[in-house]
Chains A and B, each alone.
Chain A
Amino acid sequence: MPYVPHTEAERREMLAAIGVGSIDDLFAVIPKELRPKTHELFDAARPSERPVSFDVPPGMSEFAVRRKLQALAKKNATDLVCFVGGGFYDHFIPAAVDALASRSEFATAYTPYQPEISQGILQAMYEYQSAICRLTDMEVANASLYDGGTALYEAMMMAIRITRRPKIVIDGAVSPIHRKMMDCYTSNLDIQLVAVDPSGGRTDREEFKKQLDDKTGAVILQNPNFFGVVDDFSGLVEAAHSVGAIAVASVYPLSLGILKTPGAMGFDIVTGEGQSLGLPLSFGGPYLGLMATRRKYVRKMPGRIVGAARDRNGRRGFVMTLQAREQHIRREKATSNICSNEALCAVRAVIYLSLVGKQGLRRVAQMCAAKAHYARGRLTAIPGVGLLSDAPTFNEFALELPVANAAEVVNELIEKGIAAGFPLGRYYPALRNCLLVAVTEKRTKEDIGMLAEALEAVL
């Protein structure tokens, strides 16, 4: 689609048609201090120039822009040995993921859902949904949401639609990044979001159960939790169901190669951050929101869904389905006002899952867990270093360091080329001495040894 700006003559014609004398008059309802200082954009003498208002600097040449951006890009550290997790992980991405996902059929198509001409992307979405169902052990999945945090928010709203109850009980060991998003989204809604403080890195089951009552619409749990602790929430899910609440899980999809699935624990809605499935770490996105549920709740689920169908000649094809739930049809009554999805990221995820396969996914998960356990042993052998919790972990664990503030240790190790982990004090003030360390299949024994030596040296 070419970008063709309006000519001055066209602007005048439009203004005349609506009976407004000038652009200034058109925007007169906007308070003056909120308007651009000048209206040079609409200056007939210089129609192609940008306004000098809004403090937008003047244009630069392509060469100058490139030089400036390269200088900015150099400030990013891209060669640190990464032990940072907290929901986003440095996994290996096979080159074929980039090669296939950057094919123009996938990379350039915007909302390419007209079935007559879009069978390729629709099939890719359908296979992505099928993969997410198998991974989570659920019955239906949507074609993705923006990221793990928005997916969790949408799951909460879905549970409220199902139960018509206003109270949500969320585990304090659910990602504080996601909880912050939910606080923000719900602060002006009639929703009571109750967080139950974790105890020693684990869900406080007794306190959690005390919060459950006949007003509770949903419980929200994360596995592994933010401290890396692996749990079996079957009992809490049962407790939630016994008061008529919906059980919502947030999961780390790659861990499902070896962990008990949320479906097997009885969860009703499963969400997750899909970044670990073939998406690079990239300063907050674009990432991938996973969502799957039970078949009986499909009409309450937000987002787009691709279904398999047959054409008039009996041939298999793919279509967008159950669209009457969505914003373009149901307007303000839609299941969500996010009716878009992360199609390209979902394509990357299904390509990644296809490349590693069932055995490969299990092996990646096993390698992550094994290397993390080695690292856990190595690091806790350092004098003064202990574990926040001795509960089982997957590929991430929280260390207690003999310092006041773990963030300072992280800063010191950055100087040695190591991103040592995530300082928990940032979200949990009582855990300022704690460092969350993640280990993926990419970390070698030498990397872990280097971290151990560097950590011991600064303590």
Chain B
Amino acid sequence: MSNVPDDLKYTDQHEWVRLEGGTATIGVTDFAQNALGEVTYVELPELGWEFAQGKEFAVVESLKAASDVYAPVSGRVAAVNDALEAEPNRINADPYGEGWLCKVSGVDPAEFGALLSPEQYAELISQEEAQA
């Protein structure tokens, strides 16, 4: 069973979001890293990029596949996790910690609030796990 921390919000595309002040930290979930397998490369957005919710903003490449990551919330890229360049498998080791992808500023709290709760996301992945 995948780890779904209580203090985060989620998307049905298996991203997590943590909001602190107006800044959101974004990553992919434990369920996602497990499905991807060993991550070998991460293409991160550039600082200052602005994107709308649902837009592709990063690519996570594993031995199996290269998957787009969709912006869970709209905003502007304030920081990216450069450490992933040398150690992309931090996403596997610590998806909710050292494996974060980027920080986004100017987040609309209402947009954030509408994301999936931990309970809703846990329900979603238990369905997907049951199907698999």
Question: Which residues on A are within 8 Å of B, measured CB to CB?
Answer: 299, 324-325, 329-330, 333
Are A299 and B43 interface neighbours, CB within 8 A? yes
Count A-B contacts at CB 8 Å.
Answer: 19
| Contact code string B24-67 (vs A, CB < 8 Å = 1, else 0) | 00000000000000001101000000000000000001111110
Interface residue SS majority, chain B: strand
A324–B62 Cα distance when bound, in Å, is 8
Known: A299-B41, A299-B43. A329 touches B65 (CB 8 A): yes
Q: Do A330 and B41 touch (CB < 8 A)?
A: no
Separation of A329 and B67 alpha carbons in the complex (Å): 10
Between A and B, 7 residue pairs with Cβ closer than 8 Å are A299-B61, A324-B41, A324-B62, A325-B66, A329-B64, A329-B66, A330-B66
Cα A325 to Cα B67 with chains together (Å): 10
Q: Which of B40, B62, B66 has the most CB of A within 10 A?
A: B66
List 8 A-B pairs, minimum CB-CB distance, nearest first.
Answer: A324-B66, A324-B61, A330-B66, A329-B65, A324-B65, A299-B41, A325-B66, A333-B68
Q: Give complex CA distance A325, B63 in Å.
A: 11
Q: Which residue on B lies nearest to A329, using beta carbons?
A: B65
Closest approach, in angstroms, between the C-beta of B92 and any C-beta of chain A?
16
Q: Which residues of A contact B61 (CB under 8 A)?
A: 299, 324
Least CB separation from A334: chain B residue: B66
Q: Tell me the minimal C-beta distance from B61 to chain A in angstroms.
A: 5
CB neighbours (8 Å) of A333 from chain B are 66, 68
A325 to B68, CA, bound (A): 12
Give the distance to chain A from B21, nearest Cβ to Cβ, in Å. 29
Contacts of B68 on A, CB cut-off 8 Å?
A: 333
> A residues within 8 A CB of B41?
299, 324
Residues of B within 8 A of A330 (CB): 65-66
CA distance in complex: A324, B43 (Å): 13
- Give Cα A325 to B65, complex, Å: 8
How far apart sit A330 and B62, CA to CA, in the bound complex (Å)?
Answer: 12
Q: Which residues of B contact A325 (CB under 8 A)?
A: 66
Q: Determine the residue in chain A with the shortest Cβ distance to B59.
A: A333
Which residue of chain B has the shortest Cβ distance to A326 in the bound complex? B66
Residue numbers in A under 8 Å from B65 (CB-CB)? 324, 329-330
Q: How far is the CA of A54 from the CA of B41 in the complex (A)?
A: 51
In chain B, positions 59-98 with a C-beta closer than 8 Å to chain A are 61-66, 68
**Distance of A333 Cα from B66 Cα, bound (Å):** 9
A307 to chain B, nearest CB (A): 13
- B40 contact set on A, CB distance < 8 A: 324
Taking CB as reference atom, which chain B residue is nearest A299? Answer: B41
- The answer for the CA separation of A14 and B77 in the assembled complex, in Å, is 55
A364 CB to nearest chain B CB (Å): 40
A324 proximity list for chain B (CB < 8 A): 40-41, 61-66
Contacts of B64 in A (CB 8 A): 324, 329
Name the distance in Å between A160's Cβ and chain B's nearest Cβ: 15
CA distance A333 to B63 in the complex (A): 17
Most buried by B among A299, A324, A329: A324
State A325–B61 Cα separation when bound (angstroms): 9
Chain B nearest CB, measured from A419 CB (Å): 48
How far does the Cβ of B68 sit from chain A's closest Cβ, in whole Å? 7
How distant is A165 from chain B, measured CB to nearest CB, in Å?
Answer: 13
The closest CB in chain B to the CB of A330 belongs to B66
CA distance A424 to B40 in the complex (A): 50
**Docked CA distance A114–B104 (Å):** 43
Bound-state CA distance A299–B41 (Å) is 9
Shortest C-beta distance, B48 to chain A (Å), equals: 13
B63: A residues at CB distance < 8 A: 324
Q: How far is the CB of A337 from chain B (nearest CB, A)?
A: 15
B82 to chain A, nearest CB (A): 14
CB distance from A333 to the nearest CB of B (A): 7
A142 vs B61: C-alpha distance in the bound complex, in angstroms? Answer: 19
CA distance A82 to B40 in the complex (A): 51
Q: A329–B43 Cα gap in the complex (Å)?
A: 17
Bound-state CA distance A222–B73 (Å) is: 44
With A and B bound together, what is the CA distance between A330 and B67 in angstroms? 8
Q: How far apart sit A149 and B1, CA to CA, in the bound complex (Å)? A: 51
When C-beta atoms are compared, the residue in chain A nearest to B56 turns out to be A333
In the complex, residue of chain B having the shortest beta-carbon distance to the beta carbon of A333: B68
Residue of A nearest to B61 (CB): A324
A contact residues around B66 at 8 Å (CB) = 324-325, 329-330, 333
The CA-CA distance from A329 to B40 in the complex, in Å, is 15
- When distances are taken between beta carbons in the complex, the residues of chain B under 8 Å from A299 are 41, 43, 61
